[in-house]
Each structure stands twice: as structure tokens, then as C-alpha cells.
Amino acid sequence: MNVEPKTNITVRKRIVGLLLIIFFVQTVIIGRYAYVQIVWSPKLQQWAVDQWTSDTRIEAKRGKILDRNGRPLAVSGNVERIDAFLKEVNEAENADGSKKITKEEIAAKIAPILNLTEEYVVKKLNSKLKNGLPMSSTTIARRIEREQANKIRELKLPGIVITEDTKRYYPNGNFLAQVLGSINSDGEGRAGVEYFYNEELNGVPGRFVGETDAYHREMVNSLANYISPKNGNDIVLTIDESIQYFAEKAIDKGLIDNKAKQITAIVMDPKTGEILAMANKPDYDPNNPAPSSLPLQEAMESWKNRAVNENFEPGSILKVITAAAAMEENLVSDNSKFYCRGSLKVSGTTISCWKHQGHGEQTFAQILQNSCNVGFMELGEKIGKETLYKYYNAFGFGKKTNVDYPGEEKGILLPIERVGPVELATEAFGQGIAVTPIQYMTALAAVANDGKMIEPHLVKRIINTDEDGNTSVVKEIEPKVVKQVISVETSRKLRGILESVVTLGAGKKAYIEGYHIGGKTGTAQLVENGRYAAGKYISTFVAMAPSNDPEIIIMVSIKEPDPNNYYSGSTAGPIVKAIMEDTFRYLDIQPDLEDIKNPKVIREVIIPEVRGMTSAEAEKVLRNNKINVDIQGTGNIVYDISPKPGVQVKENTRIEVYLGVETNKNNKIGVPSFTSMTKKEILGIADSLGLNISFMGDGIGASQDIDPGTEVNKDTTIRIILEEPED
């Protein structure tokens, strides 16, 4: 038996082991090769393409935003951008002699011109692909002015390229700021209409893809692909630039006159739901929406459109809805009577009317004219919470209106199961419920529009303009009827009562002679952190005109007016009147003086002190106060007048003016009626007449210790009791 030598066995084992190792290594190599060819290949190919091709994004021009008459409110202008071809930048950094320039040196030259930090520019010049290789190009700055671009051109820096770009401009500055909104640094809408209609405005960017050499120059005979950009659509708003101007002018003045924190105004067409004006003060400049002088959070707060994005407690303007519910349910008639003693006890809780001594017996129309809380508490009890909430739901409270604007609030409505007798009583006169201005205006529009509720909207149409300048309508926004909320009969009757609020009630300061104007006042205590804030109010006035067939409805809401005069009839009412007067002239809404149904208000004026003036001066002052004069006697100094200064007479009354050659030393003064006047108004009149005033309480004039018309000496002290009204 032959036995194989032990050495041979060892050699074989070694050979087998070596073969196994070689097989294993080959397997790994083949596996790796397969992985690279099959799995990793697409990514490698993409990296290669990235290095030898130039893929340039060509920005589309953002669409314009126009007012309803085609006047530009937001446009995109031609500016420039700064890009860097990094291959050239890197080669310049590694060059010898005079051609050498580092990234830090490039950054030091261009950063100050672009208002950037050198660190930011250096970081951009060191940009890498995902695989760690240098990028072919990077954008350093966009939307820079031509002056900045020219300064960088003069530097002739390697790899730094300047090309065209677009920038958003708001030609009217802060005009309509919160409605328009603004865009971010990437050209995307970030607030307002710019954000809501961003997709329509943005368009589709184009691309240029071509093969380049090491210096990013296009190669001869290379395949290039050019996709032209598609510019964005233009947005035509329902806003009328002229009416918007009237609103902004009026609330700008109102902000100062009333020492208020904020004011919001809306003008709307109740038949179409088109918003003709929407203004907020204070505002901001969308050309510079985040100035460096303001913290970002504070700047963002100024972007808020309070007409849509903020809830508030409406106060007595909600009585319009309560009245509509009662009328529609046939719970009241012209003969219905209410009695106000100044307060009402509800489930053991005494709730006061704003007029603490009470209104006495009133008709249904009078509780709306006088804004009587007790009358509306009784009305709320008649209606019942289930029925009242049915109308809250029908008028859209507690839900969004679907206005085409971002971030709409939906108001705050207490769950019906939590509404007890006290909550029902207070909600009936406008306390304990929150709405947005646009939500309330949508409800008021239904009253103005024969009971039909229309969805509000800010955009009238979307249009496209081609390269040849031809325009076509992409989409027309038609009025959308949501529902019939109340009957035509209820709507028309309620509008008649609201007209009497302006002619006979607390809304007299919004009256314009010759026009049917319906309105309602509302003054509510401001709610902060779930509690009523002492000494802080929201004063609101709403109006419709002409009230027999409304063409416009208006709301002005003042947040935190001067606590010495916060009553909406005195603060918001005159602002609404100013907007209406300008709008009537602009829209050519003519007065209907011949209409015998129009209850003409005969205003009273206080005869001013003119004694001691020349006859010409006195005549001018009296006529400015709508008082006619008969001149008696000779001389050039007014010696006396009849009736006496301070006496109240109807406008266009004729008084006697007696001339002499000296000043009357024994002047008597007629005591005016200070009822319903504010402290400021009372003091102004008293000072002009030479009377002294002593006040008791706070609010507006309720009674005085010397009867109106009584003749007294100058320097007499009149004691006046003030009372805080709700309206």
C-alpha cells in the first residue's frame, strides 16, 4: 500500500485555499462591477451630465395684479441677478501671478455692493454637488438693481456672470397692502392675494440645457434644448382703486382723530359679493415687507388683513340679525311694544341697558333705533335659542365665507348646549359672540340684497396675455348665490327700519341729505385673553345706500379709539359718511330729493358767539354754520344778536344781527342742549360761548341742571350728568 507523502497533501491544501481566495476576490470584483454598472450607473451618468452640461432655469414673468378697471397694483419689472461659474472661480484661485484671485477676495469685492456678508458669498463659491464634487454654477443674488449690477460688471471678476431677472414692484407703496400681500426672496407669494393665487401668477419657468467646455462656454455643434418660459396670468381684482383710495384716506384721518390703535374698512357690492375696497390702518409697504428696523414677528403681524383674519365682538350691529330673525318668524309687528326700565333680570342676573334710566315704552322699530338692550333681551327670549341659532347658521356665523383670501377665521359661536337664558339674552344684543368683518358684511349683504346671500370675492377675472400682447380670459368669477336667508318682504321692511336709525337714531352723523341711508351703530368692550378689557372698546358702524335699493354696503370698525370718546356714532359714523360721500360722487349715485318717502333730517345748529366781530366776519361765521342773517342798524361792529349765542335753531333759520360802534358789555348767553354730546364736544362749545362746565359720571350728555334756551351770564357753570352709552 502506497502512502502519499505528507508534503504533497499540504501543497494541495494550500493550492485549494489559494484558488478559493482568488475565486472570492474575483466574485467581489465582478459583484462590485455589476453594482456600479447596474445599480450605481444612473447616478454616475447624472453626475457626469451635471459636470459637462449647463442647465439654466429661465424665470417666468409673474403676472400682474390689476384693479377692476385695469390699473396696475402689482407688477414685475426687469432687474438683474448674479451667478458664479465655479470652474472659472476655482481656476482663478489656483492661477499664478496677476491672474490669481481667491474666493475670499472675490467675496470682499462683491459682498458690500450686494449688502451681503463675505462669509455668505464664500460659502456660495464653495458650493458642492451631493457627491461632494464642485457644482458647475451657483446663484449669489437675485433681483438686484441695475446700478448694483453695473458696479459688479466693472470689477470684471472671473466666473461672476450677470444676467436678467424680474422683481416684484408695488407702484402705490402701502396702498391696499394687506390685500395684495407680498412675495418671498424666491418670488413665491407669502401673504394676501399673492399667496392665494400664487399658482396662477407664477407661470411656468423655462430651461436652457446645453453642453459646455471646461469654462462653461457652449460647445460648437453640441445639442442644446431650449424651453421658453410661460409667463403667469394676470389677476383682475374686484377692488376699485378710487373707492379704495376714499376708504384709505378716511380711515387714515380717523386713526389720528380718534387716537385709535387700528381701523378696518370694507366697501362691498351686496348684489354681486364684489369687494370694492378693503383697507386696514396701520399698514406696511409690500416693497419692503420686513424692514430691518422691525423684529420679523412684528413685521409679519402688520401683514395681517384684519377684515378676514381677525375675530371681534360685534356689539349692537348684531341686533340687525336678531331683528331679522324675529321678523322672519312673525314674532313682531309694527304694534309690538317693549318696555325698558334700564335693566332686566334674567335667571337671577341683572343685565343693564346702556341707558341706565331706561327708554320707557318703545315699538319694535324704536328698540332698533335706540339700540335698546332690554328690548332685544326680550326679543331674544321670544325667539328662543334654537331659532336664533338657526338664523346665525343661515347668515353664516361660526363658519368661513369662502372669500378668496388665505387664513380666513370663522368667528366664535358658543355651542348651543351651553347657551342658557343669560347667554341667550346677551347674544341677542351682540355680546358673547365673535365674527370677522367680512363675515358680518356677507350677512348684511343678504339684508341689503332682498334676502339673498352672495359669496364674497376679491378677484373678478383671471386673464392671460401672450407674447404679442393679446389677452384672453382664463376664468371669469361670476356672483355665487349661497342661499335665500330671509324673505324679500322682511329684507325691505328691515332696511326701512335701519334707515330710521340714521334719520332718527344714533346714526345721525352718517346722514347725507337727499339719500336713503340705512345703518347701525355698535360699540363693544374689547375681549383680551378671554376677558373684557377695562377701558378698551371696538366701535363699529355699518351702512347701506341707497337703503331702498342698496348699491353699496360699508363697514368701519375702530379698535381701541380714545377712551374719552369711543361711541361708534361719534367715531365710526363720520368715517362711513366720508367714504359714502366720495363714493356717491364717483359712482354718480344721485340723491332722490323728490321721493316723499325720504325722511329729511332737519338739523339744529348752535348760534355761535359773533358779538364784537365786524359785520363781514360775523356774517361769514354765521353762514358757515348755515344760519341766515338780517342786518339791522349802522356801524361796523356786531353789538348784539337775536336769538342769543348758544340758542339752538334749525339750519337756515334767519336771525337778527344788530350793528353798533362799540362792544356790548352786558352779554347774555343762551344755554345749549348738551344732550348726547361727548365730553370733547361739550367743552368745545362751552369754551366758545364763555361757559364753565362741571361733569358728573362718564360718557355722553344725559341731563343738565340749567334748561336749554335759558339766558345766563358768561362764566356761568353748567352741571352736566354723563352716561355711558353702548352706541
CA distance 47 to 54: 12
Q: What is the pLDDT of residues 33-45, one digit of tens each?
A: 777 777 777 776 7
How many other CB atoms sit within 10 Å of the CB of residue 342? 16
pLDDT score of 78: 77
What number of CA atoms fall less than 13 Å from residue 606's CA on the CB side?
21
b/e string for 483-496 if b means 16 or more Cβ within 10 A?
Answer: eebbeeebbebbbb
Beta strand ranges found along 530-621 (DSSP E): 531-545, 552-559, 604-606
Query: Is 586 in contact with 284 (CB distance < 8 Å)?
Result: no
Strand 65-66, strand 234-237: pairing: parallel
pLDDT score of 50: 61
CA distance 310 to 222: 58
Query: Is 638 in contact with 613 (CB distance < 8 Å)?
Result: yes
pLDDT score of 54: 59
Beta strand ranges found along 98-159 (DSSP E): 137-144
**Catalytic option among 136, 182, 316, 557:** 316
To the query of whether residue 316 is one of the catalytic residues in this protein, the response is: yes
H/E element, 620: helix 615-624
CA 512, distance to chain mean position in Å, is 26
CATH class of 604-723: alpha beta
Q: Which amino acid is at 559?
A: K
Query: Is 586 in contact with 575 (CB distance < 8 Å)?
Result: no
Tell me, yes or no, if the two domains 55-237 and 242-284+305-587 fold the same way: no
pLDDT score of 26: 83
pLDDT score of 591: 84
pLDDT score of 596: 41
Peptide bond into 708 cis (omega under 30): no
Residue 59 backbone dihedrals phi, psi, to 5 degrees: -65, 140
Cell of 182: 407680498
The series of mean pLDDT values per 10 residues for the chain, 727 residues long, is 63 79 83 77 69 63 92 88 83 79 88 90 84 78 85 87 83 95 88 95 73 52 63 94 96 94 97 97 92 83 94 94 96 92 92 86 92 93 96 95 96 94 94 95 97 96 84 92 95 94 84 90 86 88 93 96 85 94 92 55 81 89 90 86 88 88 80 84 89 85 86 90 71
Strand partners, 235: 65, 462
Homologous superfamily, domain 242-284+305-587: DD-peptidase/beta-lactamase superfamily (3.40.710.10)
User: Where in the chain are the domains?
Assistant: 6-39, 55-237, 242-284+305-587, 604-723
pLDDT score of 90: 83
Query: Is 673 in contact with 708 (CB distance < 8 Å)?
Result: yes
Homologous superfamily, domain 55-237: Penicillin-binding protein 2a (Domain 2) (3.90.1310.10)
Please choose, from the candidates 338, 333, 327, the residue with its C-alpha nearest in 3D space to the C-alpha of residue 362.
Answer: 338
Residue written as cell 360802534? Answer: 661
Output the pTM of the full model: 0.79
H helices present in 231-330, as ranges: 241-257, 296-302, 306-309, 319-328
CA distance 9 to 40: 45
pLDDT score of 215: 47
CA distance 405 to 308: 8
b/e string for 85-106 if b means 16 or more Cβ within 10 A?
Answer: bbbbbbbbbeeeeeeebebeeb
